[in-house]
Amino acid sequence: MTETVLELVNATKTIKGEFEATRNILDHVNLKVKKGDFVVVLGGNGAGKSTLFNSISGSLMLTEGHVKLNNQEVSQQKEEERAKYIGRVFQDPKMGTAPRMTVSENLLLATLRGKKRLFKNRQLAQHKEKFYQLTSQIGNGLEKHLDVPTGQLSGGQRQALSLIMATITIPDLLLLDEHTAALDPKTARSLMALTDERIREKNLTCLMITHRLEDAITYGNRLILLKDGKIHREFSQKEKEQLTVGFLAEMFEE
């Protein structure tokens, strides 16, 4: 029986709106993600996608319900505590990396996820060859910039670095938060292909938010559509294979 990596039980986030009225931006969501699942998350603006990811990562605490990782209750754990289980790549290429630190220094920090960080030049030198081999597989010249501050990289290179950092030590759960949205179409396609390759290669468990309907159909073995903070529709791998971009676009109008 395949183990459950993530479980949400009646996950609800309530906020106060105008005139003190309250509303649920995440509304009693129940979701199980099994080991090896690659779940694509779709939804319009305000559907609850970011709230979902922030509630899973711990940057936002639920008002009601539970978050479980590897069958352990983590609802009250802070983001820093959950980081040892979760890797995350954000939409903004500037997030997820330290701009003044070099590519190698960022990668070294990523190897220490969930561990006590003792930053030493000796450790960096020992890892240089490994980092070169790792980045040379990307195909965008990142291996030539190991000693370059991350802030000087292109957006595509920085997102590729963020992906490597999020997966350099195998996370129990990988969250991809519209990680190709800020890139030009060609770079986005390249990064998405790299993403799929790493997920398959390492058998990662992943949730990915995207607005690219083609990617929602092409990648992943499950697809969920959020609407008004709820799971509006869900599709299995077999059902996904029958979907079209036109059909998905129409669902946003329901």
* Buried b or exposed e, range 22-35, using 16+ CB within 10 angstroms: eebbbbebebebbe
Q: How confident is the model at residue 116 (pLDDT cuts 50, 70, 90)?
A: low
Reported as a single tens digit per residue, the pLDDT across 174-198 is 999 999 998 889 889 989 999 999 9
Q: What is the pLDDT of residue 146?
A: 94
- Residue 206 · residue 39 · CB < 8 Å: yes
Reported as a single tens digit per residue, the pLDDT across 126-144 is 888 899 988 888 878 899 9
Q: How confident is the model at residue 85 (pLDDT cuts 50, 70, 90)?
A: very high
Reported as a single tens digit per residue, the pLDDT across 204-237 is 999 999 999 999 999 999 999 999 999 999 999 9
Mean per-residue pLDDT of the chain: 90
**Rounded Cα distance, 89 and 55, in Å:** 15
> For 193, phi and psi rounded to 5 degrees?
-65, -40
Q: How confident is the model at residue 254 (pLDDT cuts 50, 70, 90)?
A: low
Q: Which amino acid makes up residue 216?
A: A
- Residue 54 · residue 210 · CB < 8 Å: no
- Residue 83 · residue 113 · CB < 8 Å: yes
Query: Could you tell me how far CA 249 lies from the centroid of its own chain?
Result: 23
Q: How confident is the model at residue 118 (pLDDT cuts 50, 70, 90)?
A: low
Q: What is the pLDDT of residue 96?
A: 85
Greater confidence (225 vs 94) lies with 225
Greater confidence (123 vs 249) lies with 249
- Residue 8 · residue 65 · CB < 8 Å: yes
User: Nearest Cα to 221, choosing from 208, 199, 237, 205?
Assistant: 237
* Mean pLDDT, rounded, for 9-33: 89
**Rounded Cα distance, 4 and 221, in Å:** 15
Reported as a single tens digit per residue, the pLDDT across 147-164 is 999 999 999 999 999 999
Picking from 16-25, 65-74, 80-89, which range would have the lowest pLDDT averaged per residue?
16-25
